[in-house]
Chains A and B, each alone.
Chain A
């Protein structure tokens, strides 16, 4: 535990040195959270992956902050990272305004970002700039709207009738891990 906390302090120092003034650091239940603006998030995540050893992008969680008190912006994206060799965890939080849902894609860093971003796109409507195949993944291709937004009704089912031909997925070029 002490070793992990020592690693956390080193990481916080490195973040403050590298991204002073732009990236805010939080501690939530012992986990480090880095709050980054959209403009620097790709640099921050690339730096975490390439230089700090956070090589596993576990998940991308979209959040609609519509009913959340003291939220900075309407939406948030939370990137959950893990360092396989160090055993450390870090999360990167990005506030995204409702007026501009463009977010840089991470598919150039991690393959796991591919499906995770597609899910965040269909559920919340984020537009991941540069994503190779930004189509609906879990919901039907005729589905309209973004079901995990807070203003989407819980029982808001839709009638979808035709099956998808999966040609977008078929033609997508996927060549293993980005180096």
Chain B
């Protein structure tokens, strides 16, 4: 921020305006200042008017489109106004016009750093509403790919956060490993960003040949990346100065702001839906829930790095134990019949078009179903009026509530702290604005 950082103490650099002024030692200056204040000196001639600075909506350090409008006193943020909504695409409006299965590609665009998890979270809610129990094979595959997505999401979050505060190398270490994981998912789904792999009642298709070996090979790159980043960052003095105590929040405040996920866990609260309300046999996997202590930017990053290691354990256990069997439920309401039946029987043809055009029709009712996504609790509140289209879907995006606390976190901090805090919250504009 200042121009004089990095200058050595032996050659003090001064601005031209105070050339003649001998500053003396720092203590002498401080004493002189104190005397000035004691005498009630009028400081109005100093340049102390507040300055208003607008940061965003498109700023290289915000990773998404939002604005922070600051009232500055020097470099201290006195007041801040947060502006969001630049990526509001009307998700909740458009899905009211689509049959239930066609909502899945829209969920990809919520948190686009972990699309698969969104797909699965939506399908899980719909399956609960339709009273479907997916096969064991699908459950374990979903666990494996959700945890791969968690690793990838945390890599983006931690990597870009460290870039924002000035360390580019770590980003490449993470993205190198992430690219291998992305290739695994590309072989599985055919896409690298918006996967749309999950289906209501199962999965789009089965695992490709060699999936287990590909995953194992890609996973080998991850511990190295984590240890490289840890070695460069965690004990780094500059990194600690920039993140320790910055954007700190207490557990009580975090809960009041509606925080969930790694951000809440960084304050010391061990809320994790995978442990508290396990789905897909998460209770049978061995993993720990890392928690922080201070709820600052430093803890948020370290909790995420530790979670990546726990996810590695889950993926390894899951990969070793994928059971054989079908991947889809045997239910004509939701699943397309085989192509052979469609082409040779009238019933199959009718079934095919009923599923595609009308979609499954859940009973009249409402459901709220939550999933632990990399960012926290992603909830779908779905109202069915008995037709093939949702009457209303309300998404509970985890980062909406972490972002709501940004004003509280940065008021009183320095301008440079904004990016250090913002990156650690992992605010994804697609999910925030919907």
Contacts and interface: CB of A to CB of B under 8 A. Distances in A.
Contact of A169 (B82, B258, B400, B433): B82
B94 A176 contact: no
Interface in B288-313: none
A111 B129 CA distance: 31
A61 B392 CA distance: 10
A42 B256 CA distance: 16
A84 interface: yes
Interface in B354-413: 365-368, 370, 377, 379, 381, 383, 385, 391-392, 394, 396, 400-401, 403-405, 407-408, 411
A17 interface: no
Contacts of A123: 92
Nearest to B57: A163
Interface string A126-170: 000000000011111000000110001010000000001111111
Contact of A57 (B253, B258, B276, B383): B258
Given A29-B129, A115-B400, A174-B408, A138 B79 contact: no
A21 interface: no
Chain B interface secondary structure, helix, strand, loop or mixed? mixed
Contact of A80 (B252, B381, B411): B381
A80 B256 contact: no
Contacts of A59: 258, 379, 381, 394, 396
Contact of A176 (B80, B82, B253): B253
B257 interface: yes
B255 interface: yes
Contact of B85 (A114, A140, A168, A177): A140
Interface string B69-81: 1010000000111
A58 B260 CA distance: 9
Contacts of A166: 54, 67, 69, 81-83
A8 interface: no
Contacts of B128: 29
Interface string A25-37: 0001101010000
> Interface size for chain B: under 10, 10 to 19, 20 to 34, or 35 or more residues?
35 or more
B87 to A, nearest CB: 9
A112 B257 contact: yes
Contact of B253 (A80, A171, A172, A177): A177
A111 B81 contact: no
Contacts of B401: 112, 115-116
A147 to B, nearest CB: 6
Given A80-B368, A137-B84, A154-B94, A170 B257 contact: no
A47 B303 CA distance: 33
Given A87-B277, A137-B85, A169-B82, A67 B258 contact: no
B93 interface: yes
A176 B83 contact: no
A40 to B, nearest CB: 21
B271 interface: yes
B227 interface: no
A164 B129 contact: no
A55 interface: yes
A46 interface: no
Contact of A67 (B71, B129, B276, B391): B391
Given A80-B396, A84-B255, A169-B83, 10 more contacts: A29-B367, A31-B368, A56-B260, A61-B381, A78-B381, A112-B258, A116-B401, A177-B256, A177-B257, A178-B256
17 contacts: A28-B367, A29-B367, A61-B381, A62-B394, A64-B392, A67-B385, A112-B258, A114-B404, A137-B85, A138-B434, A169-B69, A169-B81, A170-B79, A174-B407, A175-B408, A176-B408, A177-B252
Which 9 A/B pairs are nearest by Cβ-Cβ distance? Answer: A112-B258, A169-B81, A177-B256, A170-B81, A166-B81, A61-B394, A138-B85, A166-B69, A59-B396
Interface of B: 54, 67, 69, 71, 79-85, 88, 90, 92-94, 96-97, 128-129, 250, 252-253, 255-258, 260, 269, 271, 276-277, 365-368, 370, 377, 379, 381, 383, 385, 391-392, 394, 396, 400-401, 403-405, 407-408, 411, 433-434
